[in-house]
Structure 1
Amino acid sequence: MPFRDAIQGIIKKADKAWEEFSHPTSQPPGPSNNGPPPPPIPAATRPPAYQEPGLQPQIYWQPNLHSQAPVSANFYHEQGQHGWGNQESQNYVDHPQNSFHSPQGDALIVRALINHGHPDHAQKFTSARLSSHQTLGRPRGCLSARITAPVARGIWPAFWLLPKDPFKWPEDGEVDIMEAWNGDAVNHTCLHWGHFNGEDWDKHRVLETPIPNINSPQGVRYDFIWDEDESTGRGRLAWLIDGRPIMRAEKPPGTRKMSDFRILINIAVGGNVCQGVMPSDGCYETVVRELAMWDAPPWGWTQFESIWNDCKDGNTM
């Protein structure tokens, strides 16, 4: 089959999937975990009663996700097919079929298109890796987004943070907010700032949270809160999912200041975490809505201690 016909077929299937996604007639499939998981977050959760009267958090950055706005207005396309340090198979490109704003509403779509039969190796597994022009920009605040993530074998979607260029990985730090892989509806909340051996054995914090509705049309709300004293480099970090405190961590000494960190949104294909499994031909989408940076957590800074106390310490790896 000529490539033009093949890719048009994939895009038609993707558009049909988008229609079904926008007007679902059935519930998405449940998780397919490879072992006994910790207790899941309920599909319908209510934020705790932390409301701070009279002091509502304010948005200080929110990208324009209107269908007529170019993705490049908010994000830079990081491109390449060199494995990205994890033996990944995708080719990150800036093609409009791999990243665009939905014509059906304010949403950012990142697509991985899989075509094993394509004669050009660079076109077999295309995807997008977006890096925000905007950094967190402040010593404390809250980054939030509502995300529908694909759940499929060999697929690895992520919503995460790295310091702005130039930076040194992993010493400068990495923050993972939404990360799921290989068909499991499990979120991996992570903080990395060292290698995985020798004296760096404990320089990671990770917590796994099953989210049965991770690929639901309404999406899942993710919040990352940071509070840093830039004069000392000390600070505290907290992660929430659908309003529920999940993980906390002290900001590691020597890592870059939080105001330097930028947003990354991508879908990887294969790679170490997928254990050599590759996805079937088709289209896999991450849908990002309500992306914003706030000057305070959802219930204000006076309630941060309550949020902190309700979080768990991340596990070492």
Structure 2
Amino acid sequence: MPFKNFLSDIKSQVKDLQKQGQQFLGQQQQQQSAPPSQSQSQPHYQHQQQPPHQHQQQQYPAQQYQQSPPLPPSTHPNFQAQGGPPGQQPLPGQPKVYWQPRFDPATPISQEWEHKLGNNNGWGNNEMQHYTAEASNSFYTPNNLLVLRAISSPSHPDPTKKYTSARLVSRQRLGRPSGSLVASLSLPCAGGIWPAFWLLPYEPFTWPTDGEVDIAETWNGDSINHTCLHWGFYSPEDKAKHRVVGTPVQGMQTGRPVRFEFAWHQDRMVWWIDGQAVMKAPVPHDMNRPLSDFVVLLNIAMGGNVCQGQVPREGMYDFVVHEMKMLEEPEGGWARFERDWAWVREGDMI
């Protein structure tokens, strides 16, 4: 082929490739500008801030919900769930699930959860919130998420409505001598805000002698998860029964769903965050209540001792539960449990 013809042919091919590239980019831009589907697992919140009096006028019953609830002021409105960092996903395995709440907006929250109500004299920590069973503080979304919402309205004339939130207790118990509890959570991160995913024995119980297990807990927007164990009295004899590990969690302030897992087996416990073991502890030999008696708690506390006196700014702060389930063994099996037990640290004594 003459060089002139060859060069013309190359130019023609380049033009064709440029045209195809422009068509592809146009398609991508159209896809990106399309509105998000309601079937996606991660809600596309619209950031909204409203004065206190409007918080009390608005209601968010699941049956009337047309859009996903707004993201709290401290989190990023454009985050899309992509899971944890590479290499930090749970190991493969399909253990049997024996409890998984559905978060179905057609059913009341009270079917799976009990609402705890009121201020209860600050819940032992001088906390400011009043827990309610109102749909403004806890609800299911059309895309099957559970949302707990703390609302800060400091100028509200009713003292019981200045700071409102939700505290839910599962009707399901751990109910097994061995097992695993997994949840994918987006936690609110802001000054004066203290969300928690934790375990207590079913009522009646004595605290802390009957035990407390903290799986996800952070406060004042520091993006540090506090994995904790409390058992026995706060005395020198029981010091080893109170342990904690602080773990910085990448992306927590963006609203990224963080995967938390807790497993118990043969008088031992292991905690994981995004598939990485962060703490282990033996079950105290003289415990009054077995772990099978424990239930799940979800709540957002506001202000108080743990928040070191910080008060949340006016606004709404959402704790989003994307998924929760109880399994007969950890994801990855008991071999994973034993392997991580061999190397992960015990918590620091408090």
Counterpart of 1:266 in structure 2: which amino acid?
Answer: N
Residue from 164, 189, 202 that aligns with 2:227? 189
Are 2:195 and 1:157 equivalent residues in the alignment?
Answer: yes
Counterpart of 2:140 in structure 1: which amino acid?
Answer: H
Q: What residue number does 1:285 align with?
A: 318
Superposition map of 1:243-282 within 5 A: 243-255=275-287, 256-282=289-315
Distance 1:190 1:45, change over 3 A: farther
Q: Distance in 2 between matches of 1:22 and 1:273?
A: 21
Q: Distance in 2 between matches of 1:15 and 1:168?
A: 39
Q: Distance in 1 between matches of 2:277 and 2:188?
A: 23
The DSSP-based 3-state class of the residue aligned with 2:70 is helix
More helix by share: 2
The DSSP-based 3-state class of the residue aligned with 1:221 is strand
Q: Distance in 1 between matches of 2:318 and 2:78?
A: 18
Counterpart of 1:101 in structure 2: which amino acid?
Answer: Y
Residue from 235, 239, 242 that aligns with 2:274? 242
Distance 1:23 1:209, change over 3 A: closer
Q: Distance in 1 between matches of 2:107 and 2:278?
A: 34
Counterpart of 1:90 in structure 2: which amino acid?
Answer: Q
Q: Distance in 1 between matches of 2:86 and 2:248?
A: 14
1:250-308 Cα deviation digits (max 9, x unpaired): 00122211110000000000121111110001000100111000111110123321121
Are 2:136 and 1:97 equivalent residues in the alignment?
Answer: yes
Gaps in structure 2 of 5+ consecutive residues: 1-49
CA RMSD between the two structures: 2.9
Are 2:197 and 1:148 equivalent residues in the alignment?
Answer: no
Distance 1:2 1:268, change over 3 A: closer
Distance 1:203 1:112, change over 3 A: same
Residue from 212, 230, 247 that aligns with 1:174? 212
Q: Please say if residues 45 and 242 of structure 1, whose CA atoms lie closer than 8 Å, have aligned partners that are also in contact.
A: no
1:2-54 Cα deviation digits (max 9, x unpaired): 97545347989x966349999943699xxxxxxxxxxxxx96142479556xx
Which sits farther off after the overlay, 77-86 or 124-133?
77-86
C-alpha displacement of 1:192: 0.3
Distance 1:145 1:87, change over 3 A: same
Are 2:78 and 1:25 equivalent residues in the alignment?
Answer: yes
Q: What residue number does 2:243 align with?
A: 205
Distance 1:273 1:191, change over 3 A: same
Are 2:342 and 1:303 equivalent residues in the alignment?
Answer: no
Q: Distance in 1 between matches of 2:255 and 2:310?
A: 26
Q: Distance in 2 between matches of 1:2 and 1:151?
A: 20
Gaps in structure 1 of 5+ consecutive residues: 29-41, 229-234
Q: Distance in 2 between matches of 1:183 and 1:21?
A: 8
Higher RCO structure (Cα 8 Å, ≥6 apart): 1
Counterpart of 1:133 in structure 2: which amino acid?
Answer: R
Are 2:109 and 1:66 equivalent residues in the alignment?
Answer: no
C-alpha displacement of 1:68: 1.6
Q: Please say if residues 148 and 287 of structure 1, whose CA atoms lie closer than 8 Å, have aligned partners that are also in contact.
A: yes
Which sits farther off after the overlay, 146-155 or 200-209?
200-209
Are 2:131 and 1:131 equivalent residues in the alignment?
Answer: no
Q: Please say if residues 72 and 318 of structure 2, whose CA atoms lie closer than 8 Å, have aligned partners that are also in contact.
A: no
Counterpart of 2:271 in structure 1: which amino acid?
Answer: W
Q: Distance in 1 between matches of 2:100 and 2:90?
A: 26
Q: What residue number does 1:38 align with?
A: none
Are 2:116 and 1:78 equivalent residues in the alignment?
Answer: yes
Q: Please say if residues 186 and 211 of structure 1, whose CA atoms lie closer than 8 Å, have aligned partners that are also in contact.
A: yes
C-alpha displacement of 1:215: 3.8
1:49-85 Cα deviation digits (max 9, x unpaired): 9556xxx311110012122221111100011212111
Q: What residue number does 2:56 align with?
A: 7
Q: In the comparison of the two structures, how many residue pairs are matched?
A: 293
Are 2:82 and 1:44 equivalent residues in the alignment?
Answer: no
- TM-score scaled to structure 2, two decimals? 0.77
Distance 1:281 1:21, change over 3 A: closer
- TM-score scaled to structure 1, two decimals? 0.84
C-alpha displacement of 1:202: 3.2
Which sits farther off after the overlay, 252-261 or 107-116?
252-261
Counterpart of 1:271 in structure 2: which amino acid?
Answer: G
Counterpart of 2:56 in structure 1: which amino acid?
Answer: I
The DSSP-based 3-state class of the residue aligned with 2:197 is strand
Q: Distance in 1 between matches of 2:245 and 2:116?
A: 28
C-alpha displacement of 1:86: 1.0
Q: Percent identity?
A: 45
